[in-house]
């Protein structure tokens, strides 16, 4: 584990109702208060209708919240979409961009992700840029090429400006490990994270590469979190299914908190 502050994010996807979201948020704040040390940053990504309930439950705590997606434009005739200004107005600090389910379900391209990242920066939101290969791409030996392409295009607006306008994070999510129960071994995950950090250094410089947190996402659970977070270039997790159980999510946070500052 590096000196970078661990970051653990909960992606609730299209799950939970308002009462559940409020209860989960309250339990999370309570559970974090029970930790003897609080060295891990935490963010929750609820679905859009739940943002007010989550904000009410988390307000005043150290836990941040964010949107699961945003439109590249700030306003306009885009039925069903949500803009950066609307997320900022809802108190969001973060936003996901390029999640594999958005790419698969909605046909989002690398170029679309780049425009969303630009919109996030423009509106003072920290984008969490998601990248990852499919099983077919991994089996074909294309993992590094896919990651370099996705990251390179997503960062084009940042590279053009010379430096990141504000903090951001990356999430490596091997598509073959999302919701399947399969998890990349710590060695496989570290290899991918190291490559991503090298690409980041080539695009934005060594200083940015050293400072940027790269999260692992793909069937993360309390049982595998400690081994994963021990790897040099893994700085935390983007958690899906396990984040729907407050106790499991807290257990993952505790694994990161225990590894922080080593």
Cα–Cα distances (Å) from 155 to 54, 112, 129, in that order, read: 30, 12, 9
**How far apart are the C-alpha atoms of 203 and 155, rounded to whole Å?**
8
**How far apart are the C-alpha atoms of 236 and 200, rounded to whole Å?**
17
Which pLDDT score is estimated for 1? 44
Q: Which of 22, 101, 108, 173 is catalytic?
A: 173
**Cβ-Cβ contacts under 8 Å for 156 (sequence gap 6 or more):** 114
Which pLDDT score is estimated for 157? 78
Told to judge if 99 belongs to the known catalytic residues of this protein, a careful annotator would answer yes
Residue whose structure tokens are 């980041």: 200
CA 186 centroid distance within chain: 18
Which pLDDT score is estimated for 37? 66
Tokens of 144: 């590094």
Question: Residue 254: which of 30, 21, 31 has the closest Cα?
Answer: 31
Beta strands 94-97; 7-11: pairing state? unpaired
**How far apart are the C-alpha atoms of 4 and 84, rounded to whole Å?**
27
Tokens of 137: 């791409």
**Cβ-Cβ contacts under 8 Å for 100 (sequence gap 6 or more):** 130, 132, 173, 175, 178
Q: Which of 22, 24, 71, 99 is catalytic?
A: 99
What does the chain come to in residues?
262
Q: In a structure prediction context, what are the per-residue pLDDT tens digits for the chain, which is 262 residues long?
A: 457 999 999 999 999 999 999 999 999 999 999 886 678 999 999 999 999 999 999 999 999 999 999 999 999 999 999 999 999 999 999 999 999 999 999 999 999 999 999 999 999 999 999 999 999 999 999 999 999 999 999 998 777 776 677 789 999 999 888 777 777 899 999 999 999 999 999 999 999 999 999 999 988 999 999 999 999 999 999 999 999 999 999 999 999 987 765 4
**How far apart are the C-alpha atoms of 262 and 259, rounded to whole Å?**
6
Quick count: other Cβ atoms within 10 Å of Cβ 261? 11
Which pLDDT score is estimated for 160? 72
Q: Is the alpha carbon torsion for 240, 45, 238, 225 positive or negative? A: negative
**How far apart are the C-alpha atoms of 3 and 235, rounded to whole Å?**
9
Which pLDDT score is estimated for 165? 73
**How far apart are the C-alpha atoms of 143 and 191, rounded to whole Å?**
10
Quick count: other Cβ atoms within 10 Å of Cβ 53? 20
Strands (E) across 25-168 are located at 41-45, 64-67, 94-97, 126-131
Is 219:246 a contact under the CB 8 Å cutoff?
A: no
Domains in the chain with CATH codes: 7-259 (3.20.20.70)
Which pLDDT score is estimated for 177? 82
Give the relative orientation of helices 246-259 and 18-33 as an angle to the nearest 10 degrees. Answer: 30
């Amino acid at each position: 584990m590096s000196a970078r502050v661990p970051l653990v994010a909960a992606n609730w996807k299209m799950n939970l109702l308002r009462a559940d979201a409020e209860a989960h948020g309250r339990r999370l704040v309570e559970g974090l208060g029970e930790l003897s040390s609080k060295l891990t940053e935490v963010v929750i990504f609820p679905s859009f209708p739940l943002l007010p309930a989550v904000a009410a439950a988390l307000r005043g705590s150290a836990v941040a919240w964010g949107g699961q997606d945003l439109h590249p434009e700030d306003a306009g005739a885009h039925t069903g979409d949500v803009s950066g200004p609307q997320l900022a107005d809802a108190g969001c600090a973060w936003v996901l961009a390029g999640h594999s389910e958005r790419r698969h379900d909605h046909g989002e391209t690398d170029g679309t992700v780049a425009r969303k990242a630009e919109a996030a920066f423009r509106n003072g939101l920290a984008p969490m840029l998601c990248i990852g290969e499919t099983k077919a791409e991994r089996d074909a030996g294309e993992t590094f090429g896919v990651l370099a392409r996705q990251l390179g295009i997503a960062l084009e607006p940042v590279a053009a400006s010379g430096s990141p306008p504000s903090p951001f994070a990356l999430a490596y999510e091997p598509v073959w490990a999302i919701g399947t129960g399969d998890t990349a071994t710590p060695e496989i995950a570290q290899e991918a994270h190291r490559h991503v950090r090298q690409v980041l250094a080539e695009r934005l410089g060594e200083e940015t590469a050293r400072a940027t947190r790269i999260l692992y996402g793909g069937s993360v659970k309390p049982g595998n979190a400690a081994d994963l977070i021990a790897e040099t270039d893994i700085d935390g997790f983007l958690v899906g299914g396990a984040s729907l159980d407050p106790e499991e999510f807290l257990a993952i946070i505790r694994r990161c908190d225990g590894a922080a500052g080593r």
